[in-house]
Amino acid sequence: MPTPPLTRVGTRLGTRLAHTLARDTTGGMLLLGAAVLALAWANSPWHGAYEAVSGTVVGPRALHLDLTLAAWAADGLLAVFFLAVGLELKHELVAGSLRDAREAGVPILAAVGGMALPAALYAATVTLLHDAPARHGWAIPTATDIAFALAVLAVFGKGLPTAVRTFLLTLAVVDDLLAITVIAVFYSGDLHGLPLLGALAAVAAVGLLVRVRRPPLWALVPLGLTAWALLHASGIHATVAGVLVGFTVPARPVHGEAEARTHAAGRAIAPWSQGLALPVFAFFAAGVSLAGGGAVVGRPVALAVVVALVVGKLVGVLGTTALVTHLTPLRLAQGVGLRDLLPVGFLAGIGFTVALLVSELSFGQAAAPTESAKAAVLGASVVAAALGAACLRWDARKARGPDMNRDGVPDDVVDRI
C-alpha cells in the first residue's frame, strides 16, 4: 500500500528538522538565545514570574524526585546532553583523534592544570583581600560548562579542525568529572553507597545489552533511567549517568554493521540534545538576578571568581599544555597548534552549571556571598565567552602551517568545524 502524500511530506519535514536541530550551530544559537531571554526576564519587573516557573516542583515525592523545574533541567535534561557527550568522547578515544595515548593525555592534563590554578588563584585572592570565610568557595571556578563552551565554539569556530572541538570536549568532560568528585568529597555530607552500587549495576546491564545483535530499546531506556535515578539518590550529580551510559556503547562496528553504534546513537540523540535539552537548561541556568549592583559584585568573592575563571583557566590550560608537550612525549592532535588553545583556554572559563551549584553549596542559598559568587560566575562567563569568540574568529582567519602540532609530521586534516 503506497504511503499517503501527507505522510511522506511530514516524514521529510521531520527528517529535515532533526538534521537542523542536530547541528552544533543550531544548538548553540538556541542555547545562547535562551540564556539571553532568561537573563533579561530574571532582571525585569516580571522576575517574580520567572522565579515561580523555575521553582515549580514536579515529580514523585515517594522516589525523592520531587524537584523544581530548574533542577529537572540541570539534573535531568542535561543528562541527555551528557549522553551525547559520552558517545562522542567514547568514539574519539577508541577510533578517533584521541586513540593515541600521547594525544589523549594532553587535554586530560590540561584539565587538571585548568582546575588547580583557578582554585589556587581564588584562594590567594580572597586571602589577600582578608576574607578568610570566602576560602570555602575555592571549588567554584574549577569546572567548565560544556554546553555553553561548545555552543560558542560551534558558532564562532567555523573552519577550525574538529580536533580543536575534541580537545575542548575532553578537557571540559574531565573538568566536570573532577569538579563533581570535589563536590562529592568536600561538599557532600550524605553520599549513599547502596544507590551508587545500584546505578553502576544498571550501567553495566546497559553495557551488556547494547552489544547484542538487536539491542532491546524497551529494556535499555528503563535501565538508563534507573541508572540516572539511583545516581541522583546516591548524592552524585546525576548527569554523570549520561557519560557512563555513553561510554558503554561500542565505538567500532559490531555484528557486521556498517557504522559504529556510537555514531548511530549519537545521530538519534543529537536533535533532542541540541534542540531541547540545551536551550531548556540554559533558560533555567542563566536566570541570575543582578539586583544589588555594586554591593553584590564588590565583595572579595566576586573578584576572586572573575580572576580565577578568566585568568586562571586560560593560564592553567595553556601553561599545562605547553609544559607537557615540551617536557614529555605527549603531543597535540594533528592540525592543532598552541595558538588554537588560546580560545580554548578562554572558553574553559565559562562557568554556569557546576559553578552555580558549588556557589550554593559553599555559602548557602540565602547567604550574601552566594549572590556575589553567582553574579561573578555569570559576568566572568560572559567575558570569557566574548574573548573566546573573538580569538576563535582570529584563529579561523589566520593561515595555518603544515605542521601545527610540531611533531615533525605534516598535518593531514580533513574534518573541520
pLDDT tens for the 417 residues of the chain, in order: 455 554 444 455 556 666 666 666 677 788 888 888 998 998 899 989 999 998 999 998 888 888 999 889 888 998 898 898 889 888 888 887 678 788 889 999 999 999 999 999 999 999 999 888 888 899 999 988 887 898 899 889 988 888 899 899 889 888 877 887 887 777 766 778 899 999 999 999 999 999 998 888 889 999 999 999 999 998 888 888 998 999 999 998 888 888 889 988 988 898 898 889 888 988 887 787 777 665 556 789 999 999 999 999 999 999 999 999 989 888 888 888 888 899 999 999 998 777 887 887 787 655 678 878 888 898 899 999 999 999 999 988 887 877 777 776 777 766 777
- Measured CA to CA in angstroms, residue 219 lies from 209, 226, 232, 363 at distances of 8, 11, 20, 42
Q: Which residue from 111, 222, 104 is spatially nearest to 174, judged by alpha carbons?
A: 111
Cα–Cα distance, 376 to 126 (Å, whole number) = 14
What three-state secondary structure class fits 327?
A: helix
Q: Can you read off the three cell numbers belonging to residue 176?
A: 566536570
Instruction: Say what the pTM is.
Output: 0.80
Q: Which residue from 149, 172, 379 is spatially nearest to 286, judged by alpha carbons?
A: 379
Cα–Cα distance, 89 to 78 (Å, whole number) = 16
DSSP 103-146: HHHHHHHHHHHHHHHHHHHHHHHHHHTT-GGGGGGTTGGG---H
What three-state secondary structure class fits 220?
A: helix
Q: Distance between terminal CA atoms of the chain?
A: 43
Q: Can you read off the three cell numbers belonging to residue 51?
A: 522565579
Query: Class of the 23-191+235-397 domain?
Result: mainly alpha
Q: Can you read off the three cell numbers belonging to residue 235?
A: 548524592
* Angle at 373 (CA atoms; ends 369, 374), nearest 5 degrees: 120
Do the Cβ atoms of 374 and 288 come closer than 8 Å? Answer: yes
Scanning the structure block, which residue is given the C-alpha cell 519535514?
13
Q: Can you read off the three cell numbers belonging to residue 358?
A: 558549588
What does the CA dihedral 33, 35, 37, 42 come to, rounded to 10 degrees?
180
Q: Domain segments of the chain: what residues?
A: 23-191+235-397
Q: Which residue from 229, 234, 136 is spatially nearest to 190, judged by alpha carbons?
A: 234
Scanning the structure block, which residue is given the C-alpha cell 538519534?
268
Query: How many Cα neighbours within 13 Å face the side chain of 88?
Result: 23
Cα–Cα distance, 113 to 338 (Å, whole number) = 15
